[in-house]
Structure formats: C-alpha cells, structure tokens
Amino acid sequence: MRREKIKVEKAAELMCVFPFVVKAFEMEIIPAERIVAQIGGTLILTCNTTGCASPSFSWRTQMDSPLGGEVSRHGTYSTLTMNPVSIVNSHSYLCTVTCDERGKKEKSVKVELYSFPSDPIIEISPSLVDGEPATVICKIPDVYPSDRLEVLLKKDEHVLHEKNFFEDESTNTETKFVTYTYHPMAEDAGKEITCVAKLPIADMDFEPKERTSSQKLNVNFGPQNTVITASPGKSPMEGDSLNLTCVTQSNPPAQIVWRKYLAEESIQHLIKNNVLFIPHVHFNDSGRYICEVINLVTAKTEEATVDIIIQGAPVITKFSIEPSTTVQEGENVSIKCSAESNPPPKIILRRKSDNADIGTYSARSILLPSVMFQNGGDYECVAENKYGNSKREITLNVKYGPKNTVITVFPAALKEGETVTIKCTSSGNPAPVISWKKKKATGESEKISENATITIQNLKSQDLGLYECEAYNQFGKEEKAVELYVPGLLEGPDQMIPLIIAFSSVAAVAVPAVAILIYVSRQAKINGSYSLVKALRLKV
C-alpha cells in the first residue's frame, strides 16, 4: 500500500516539474482489480488522478452498504482506510472522480476477505495415563471462511484424525475445534501430536495457507518391566560386597522400596533407593529380596524378586552347653553346635581328651543323660565344607562329690620308733578338703589334722589305733579308716598279727564297708608274707 502511495506522490511531483505539459484526465485505484485482505489487518485503497488539477472524490460500495472505513483527500488522490478490516468490508468499492472541465470517471475494486491469523492451539489432558482414554483438542482461532478449513491430527507421522468444514455456513470469523479421543500407550511418551490446519482457497493469493502446531506427549505409565540385577552375582562369597540394582520403566519415575522376606513370612523393610548395597555380606544376608516400585500418578505397583545365596566356609553360629557349662553330676546335659554355610556344612562334635566323635549332625544337639564326672572336659565343634572349616571349643565342668578315697601308709611294716607317713587322697570337683581324726579309747573321735598327709615321728604305743580320713566338698563326703599296730606289742607269739587294717565308709551310707585289707601273716618275728585270705579270719 505504501508503494502505491509513493507512486501517486511522484506523479504529482512530475506535474509540478512540467507545468506546461497537458495530460489527459485519467484515474486508477491502487491496488487495482481484486484485493485479498485479512480480517483484523489494515487495508488502504487509493484513488489517484492525473490530468486534473482539482479533482473531487467520492467512495461508495456497489450495494450502498456502509464503507466500513475512513476517507481522506490528499490533493490529486484520495484514500479509504479500513483499520481493522472486518467482515463488513467484503464488498466491491467504487471510486468516482469529478474534474470540472473534464467530466468524471469511476472505477471499482473488489475486496475479498479471509482470516487465518495464527497457528492452531493444541489442548491435551494434563495427565495422560497409559491405556486410559485421553482427549486431544485442536483449536483454530478466528478462521474465515471456515467452509474451506481442513484439519489433520497426527502422532508423529501417523494420521490420527481428519476433519473438514465444507458444510459450515458461518458468515464471520469463528474459532473452530477438532476433538479426538484416543488411548495413549507407554511408547507414545516423547512423541509429538501435530495439528495441521489448512485454508486452501485456490483463487485467493495469501500466505500462509497452512499452519501447524505440535506438542510433545507426556504419557504417565508403569511401572513395568521391573528387573533386578545382582553384582557380582546372585551367589557371592561371604565377606564380598553385593550390589542389587532395581530397574523399571515408569513415568514419572517410580518410588522404589527394598524389602526382604524373613522367617515365618515376615518382611523386613530396608531402604528407599534403586540400589541396595551391602559392603560385606554374611550368611544371614541370604534370602529373597523384593524390589517394589510405585508410580504415585498411575497408582500402580510392580514387584521383582531375586534369591541371594551367600557361599563360603562355615561359620559356627552356636556352640553351647545346656543348662550350663558347669553342672552337677547326674544332671541331663545337652551339647549343641550349629553352623551356617553354603553348601551346608558337615558338623563333627567330639571331646578333645579322647578324640572320640560324639556324633556327626547338622544343627542338632547331643544329649548326655545323667552326666558323669568322666564326661567333663574340653569339647570341640568342627564345621567344614568345600570352602574350608571352622573350629570352636567349650569346656564342660562336672561338679561331683569325693570319690575313690584311698589311704596309704609308709612303711607297710611298722616298728616302734620309726617315722610313719599316712596319706589320704580323693578325687572330686571341686577338689575335696581332707581332714584326719583319731579314735580315742573312749570311742570318741578327735580331729588331729586338716592336711592330706600325717607324719608320725618316733612311733610309740600311744600313736597306735584307728585313724579316720574324711574327704568332703559341697556335693558330698567320703570317709576311709586305717588302724595302726606294732607287732612286738602284742601278747601271743604265735598269733596272726595284722600290720594295717583299713576301713571305709561313705557319708551318705551309715553301714561301714571294708575297702582294703592288707595283712601280714607271721608269728612272733616280723618280715612275714601278706595274705588277704588269712586276714579275713581276724576280727576287725
């Protein structure tokens, strides 16, 4: 339009430069002939004259409708400005120019309108969920004439929907809508929905006749295809590190929770992270691990599991004596040894003192009913498999009362004036306390020593008699006795002479029992022979 105005101004300048040139009276409308204008834009029609110094102008429509614009006169040309262009400007406009001495002339121009001002607007449901219906709306603003409008909806290069408005009877600009419902899939995430709007009016010269808009799809889906990878593998060696990585497909990213199955179908909650790292695995880390993934938008969950088996040499997990490592003789005792490993261990339980295997078993116990003092000692548990072995020791301490009390006399053949040693020994746990008593003539016993050994210097007649040894601890006592005789102090020369007579009795039993009888058969002289048979004839 500006170019046409410049053209008119130049023509006026030429008339001033060459005032003596007489030109024919002419007129023109710029732009000429058919005009295509966009509704909402600005259109300037210029009616220009030549060969007339003082022309007069008039504008009208062929249908005598309102002009819908503003007329201005500029000497030898006049303009009709339509700003903004509206639907009322769809007419043929007639410009009439009157020149006093030369008459009048008129010309017309047809104004054709269209409206295609902007690209389509795509509206998609803000939260698309895999497999659930979604609506796509393509909005084409202020289009005219809409009966020429064609709309295409595409997903990437795949055509989803086509629509035309050939039967539309709108007489003004309108915003047109194309609505399409489809079911998005997970693989649609990141793809583009494109709306292509075309206004293909062949005999109208304007650009663009095609407008497009695109919008990327954000499809919420999953979780799906959840898998767990274990590094270095599902059967690491005991002490190694273990990485469990949970991978899933989900939009938005899923929340991940690790759990582990425990005994009795209980579940231990671990961490909220896609990687579960154990720096040093132990056998109790074996088990089934669960990766649970949760998409908070789709409200869907999925689980993946992996079975981890820790391999390695055995580890003894329990080596115990029940009810205690210290028991009293006669109690029931259970020795337990258990170990864990993979492959399962062979377990050997034995007493170290005799290397005798009590038994070979797996996570069981050995029962010693009515335990005896001989069962006390150090026990060893050995657990072994192809990766190695493990050993542990434990001590069974059996408490019992005095047993096997023995009295020894030195020398065996006694003489007056000699030194005599009497020794009492006894076994027990704790070690028995030894004490000595001597029988008086009155029959009463007198405590004479708390040592295990009695030494009599220069044996005299008053040293002869019955000596009693008592061995005792908190679990019982045992008594033994010995009677000392000197042969030369007896009356009958041909009489059988006992040198030493030993008596014994147990504290819990009142009836005395003869433990050891050592006799020497001789007449009035010493240095005879020992005889148990002859000794039985003597009165004790």
Residues 521, 529 contacting (CB under 8 angstroms): yes
The average confidence (pLDDT) of the chain is 83
Final residue in a domain of this structure, among 217, 244, 264: 217
Average pLDDT over residues 98-115: 89
Write down the pLDDT at residue 147: 92
Nearest CA to 176 out of 256, 117, 244 is that of: 117
pLDDT score for 154: 94
Closest C-alpha to 323, from 311, 315, 312, 335: 335
The answer, yes or no, to whether residue 344 has pLDDT greater than 70, is yes
Helix boundaries (H) for 421-472: none
Are 1 and 44 spatial neighbours (Cβ–Cβ below 8 Å)?
A: yes
Task: Clarify whether residues 364 and 428 are in a common domain.
Answer: no
> Given CA atoms 145, 147, 149, 153 in this order, what sign does their dihedral have?
positive
Residues 110 and 126 in one domain: no
Residues 336, 424, single domain; the answer is: no
Q: Are residues 128 and 211 in the same domain?
A: yes
Predicted local distance difference test score (pLDDT) of residue 441: 78
- 85 is a domain residue: yes
Residues in Cβ contact with 38 at an 8 Å cutoff, skipping those fewer than 6 apart: 85, 113, 114, 115, 116, 117, 206
At residue 352, does pLDDT exceed 90? no
Do 195 and 252 sit in the same domain of this protein? no
The CATH number assigned to the domain holding 376 equals 2.60.40.10
Q: Is the previous residue joined to 253 through a cis bond, with omega within 30 degrees of 0?
A: no
Structure tokens at 303: 């689980």
514 confidence band (pLDDT: 50, 70, 90): very low
Q: pLDDT at position 169, please?
A: 86
Q: From CA 55, how far away is CA 62, in angstroms rounded?
A: 21
Q: Do residues 156 and 185 both lie within one domain?
A: yes
Check pLDDT > 60 for residue 202.
Answer: yes
Give yes or no: residues 125 and 212 share one domain.
Answer: yes
CA distance 308 to 342: 11
Q: What is the pLDDT of residue 220?
A: 92
**Has residue 526 got a pLDDT over 70?**
no
- Shared domain for 211 and 135, answered yes or no, is yes
Q: Is residue 511 part of a domain?
A: no
* Out of 83-97, 359-373, 427-441, least confident range: 359-373
Does residue 524 carry a pLDDT above 70?
no
431 DSSP assignment: P
**Do residues 437 and 482 make contact, with C-beta atoms less than 8 angstroms apart?**
no
Q: Are residues 388 and 424 both part of a single domain?
A: no
Give the pLDDT of residue 18: 46
Q: If pLDDT is split at 50, 70 and 90, which confidence band does 461 have?
A: confident
Is there a contact between 472 and 427 (Cβ–Cβ < 8 Å)?
Answer: no
Whether 497 maps to a domain, the answer reads: no
**Torsion of the alpha carbons at 200, 202, 207 and 211, rounded to the nearest 10:** 10
Where in the sequence is the domain holding 350, given as residue range(s)?
313-399
Question: Which residues, in sequence order, are CB contacts of 110 under 8 Å at separation 6+?
Answer: 33, 34, 35, 91, 92, 93
Radius of gyration of the chain from its Cα atoms, rounded to whole angstroms: 63
Distance CA 153, CA 151 (A): 7
The answer to whether position 18 is within a domain reads no
Is residue 6 assigned to a domain?
no
Calculate what percentage of the chain has a pLDDT beyond 90: 57
As a whole-number percent, the residues of the chain with pLDDT over 70 amount to 83
The rounded distance, in Å, linking the Cα atoms of 152 and 159 is 7
Number of domains in the chain: 5
Tokens describing residue 367: 């029962």
Q: Is residue 504 part of a domain?
A: no
Mean pLDDT of 172-201: 92
Once rounded to an integer, what is the mean pLDDT over residues 160-172? 91
144 and 158 inside one domain:
yes
Distance CA 324, CA 333 (A): 8
- The pLDDT, as a whole number, for residue 331 is 94
User: Of the given ranges (31-45, 297-311, 458-472, 513-527), which has the lowest mean pLDDT?
Assistant: 513-527
Task: Give residue-wise pLDDT tens across range 113-134.
Answer: 999 999 999 999 878 899 889 9
Tokens of 219: 């499809």
Instruction: In whole angstroms, give the CA distance from residue 358 to residue 350.
Output: 5
The domain boundary, picked from 399, 417, 445, lies at 399
Distance, CA of 485 to CA of 501 (rounded, Å): 9
Is residue 534 predicted with pLDDT exceeding 80? no
Handedness of CA 408, 411, 417, 420 (dihedral sign): negative
Same domain, 175 and 242: no
Residue 256 binned pLDDT confidence (cut-offs 50, 70, 90): very high
The better pLDDT of the pair 524, 495 is held by 495
- 514 lies in a domain? no
**What is the reported pLDDT for 241?**
95
Rounded distance between C-alpha atoms, residue 87 and residue 78, angstroms: 23
Per-residue pLDDT at 357 = 53
In a domain, 498, yes or no: no
Task: Indicate whether 129 and 213 sit together in one domain.
Answer: yes
Token pair, residue 286, equals 């074996």
Model confidence at 521, in pLDDT bands (50, 70, 90)?
Answer: very low
Q: Over the stretch 270-329, which tens digit does the pLDDT of each residue have? A: 788 899 999 999 988 999 999 999 999 989 999 999 999 999 999 999 999 999 999 999
Q: Where among 169, 187, 217 does a domain terminate?
A: 217
Count of residues making up the chain: 540
Distance CA 116, CA 108 (A): 26
Q: How many beta carbons lie within 10 A of that of residue 315, not counting itself? A: 15
pLDDT class for 62, splitting at 50, 70, 90? confident
- Convert 43-75 into a string of H (helix), E (strand) and C (coil): EEEEEEEECCCCCEEEEEECCCCCCCCEEEEEC
pLDDT tens-digit series, residues 362-418: 446 788 899 999 999 999 999 999 999 999 999 999 999 999 999 999 998 888 889
